[in-house]
């Protein structure tokens, strides 16, 4: 085995991983194809007034340690936070992801739109972190309400 073979294998592995991430990002519905990172979005409906849902959002964001730098930019309507994975060593290795939570009144309650956006240099979501952040938040919010 030549001394360059392990390095060549490592480069080939990294390129294949990047190519797979790029391909997954292109093929996912709701995925962003811009060079500005990965964006995921989900809408959910709650049979409660926006004020009640907003109070639940505040409680969930305040209780969980994975939500940092939370700001309510519009009263009872728009929340910005930074979410990190809650799992062991990953929480120290992975930078946070911006998450926007927007509440809009509807005829039967409140429509919530949650959006995550990665850093601009992230090219794909191979491990599905960004959708999982949204799912975890919605589960916690439904439990709170």
pTM of the model: 0.68
Q: DSSP 3-state assignment of 46?
A: strand
CA 3 and chain centroid, separation: 41
Q: How many CB atoms lie within 10 A of CB 69?
A: 10
CA 132 and chain centroid, separation: 7
| Number of structural domains the chain divides into | 1
**Length of the chain as a residue count:** 145
Q: What is the C-alpha to C-alpha distance for residues 33 and 124, in angstroms, rounded to an integer?
A: 9
Q: What is the pLDDT along the chain (145 residues), one digit of tens a residue?
A: 566 666 666 776 676 666 566 555 554 555 544 456 778 888 999 999 999 999 999 999 998 878 888 888 888 889 999 887 766 555 555 667 889 999 999 998 999 999 988 776 666 666 677 888 889 899 999 998 8
Which structural domain range is residue 30 located in? 5-144
CATH of the domain at 111: 3.30.530.50
């Amino acid at each position: 085995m030549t001394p360059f073979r392990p390095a060549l294998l490592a480069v080939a592995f990294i390129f294949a991983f990047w190519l797979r991430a790029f391909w997954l990002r292109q093929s996912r519905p709701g995925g962003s194809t811009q060079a500005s990172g990965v964006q995921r979005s989900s809408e959910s409906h709650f049979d409660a007034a926006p004020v009640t849902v907003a109070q639940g959002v505040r409680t969930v964001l305040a209780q969980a340690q994975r939500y940092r730098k939370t700001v309510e930019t519009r009263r009872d309507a728009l929340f910005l936070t930074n979410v990190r994975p809650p799992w062991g060593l990953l929480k120290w290795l992975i930078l946070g992801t911006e998450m926007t939570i927007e509440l809009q009144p509807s005829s039967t309650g409140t429509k919530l739109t949650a959006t995550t956006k990665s850093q601009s240099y992230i090219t794909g979501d191979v491990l599905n972190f960004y959708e999982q952040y949204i799912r975890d938040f919605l589960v916690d919010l439904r439990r709170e309400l």
